[in-house]
Every structure is written in structure tokens, then in C-alpha cells.
Amino acid sequence: MQTVLELSGPVIYTAMAIAALYGVFCAVLLFRKISQKRFSSPARAAEFLDEVRDLLDRRDFDGVAELCDSPPYWAKAAPQMILVALAHRDRGLSKLRQLIAEKYERDILADLEYRFSWIGTIVKTAPMLGLLGTVTGMIAAFGKIAGATQGIDPTTLANDISFALLTTSYGLMIAIPLTILGAAVQVKKGKLTDSVQEQLSEFLHDLERAMTA
């Protein structure tokens, strides 16, 4: 039993380190993905929509598709959804809105939610690993007290108690920053959705006008 307790220390520390690194990796990846999906500024989005509007006024649907599929825009969420709308423009506007919403949720949000779920998992797991370390350290300390026939070396007990407290603090040190990062990701994701909805609403209005002209 004592051997297991001694081995648990490196295992718990390693698990915490992996959890922390992967949590930060997921957060950074999400920030990058969301930044890639959004326009760098409202002015840049307005410039893109003006180009689309000019092409729609000439009923140049192929030109709109080429613009959306060009290097500056092919990674952006709104141009991706515009390509979907163009491919199904023969449907009614209400069905087109529903199709775009489903496509956005499946192709854009689902990937972001998958990564975000890992951040939430690590936020919950890190304190539990810390609690496991606390319990392990206290078991080791009390085990040494119970098995001692003479006096106990205070240094030995201090090491076990220190391990118990350190793992708890490390778990919180991992969970708290990741909670803040997760909230920041949620805000950026919400802003992405709002901006895409606004841009697509403007595009669909222009598309409807071009189709009925």
C-alpha cells in the first residue's frame, strides 16, 4: 500500500501537467479558430458585403461564389454560409434561412463546442485530481503515524501534508484560469455568431432582391 501511495505522487502531478497543457492548447486553438472565422473588423466585413452586393446587382452568382471561395475569405464563416445559400438559392427564403442555420451549427459551432467541452472537462477534473492528491497525502501521513512504534520524523509527515496541500492548490491553479479562458471563448463565440447572423441577414436581403429583379 505504501508503495502505491508513493507512486501516486508522480502520477497525479503528471496528470495535472497534461490536463493544464491540453486545456491551454484547446483555449488557444479556439481563439485562433474563432479569429479565422471572423472578419478582422466591421469595416472589412462591410467591404466584403459591398463586393457581394455589386455582383448580385449584376446577377453574377458565379462571381459571388468565386469571391467567397477566394483565399481572403474561404476560411470565414459568413462566406462559407453564403456559398451554401447560393447552391440552394432556388429554395424559398425561409427554407434557405433554416438550411444555413443548420449548416452553421453543424459545420462551425459543432467543432467549437467539441473543443470547448474539453476545457469544461479539465476545469472539473483538475480540482478532483487535487482532491485525490490531498486524500493520498493524508492517507500516507496517517499510515506512517499508525505504523510507527517510536517517534515520527516530522519531516516525513511534513512532506506528505505538503503534497496533500500542493495538489489541492495546483488543481485550483489549473481550474481557475481555464474557467476565465472558457468564459472569454464563449464571449468570442457569441460575437462570431452575432456577426455572422447580421452579415447573412444583409446578404439574404440582397439575394432576394437580385432573384426577384
The predicted pLDDT at position 149 comes to 64
Mark the ranges of the chain whose per-residue pLDDT is less than 50. none
CA distances from 88 to 24, 81, 93, 106, 207 (A): 39, 11, 10, 17, 12
Every domain of the chain and the residues it spans:
2-212
The predicted pLDDT at position 5 comes to 61
CA angle 162, 166, 133 (to 5 degrees): 90
- pTM, two decimals, is 0.83
pLDDT in tens, 158-185: 888 888 899 999 999 999 999 999 999 9
d(CA 163, CA 32): 36
Coil/strand/helix, residue 148 = coil
CA distances from 6 to 16, 58, 156, 163, 174 (A): 17, 75, 12, 11, 23
The predicted pLDDT at position 151 comes to 65
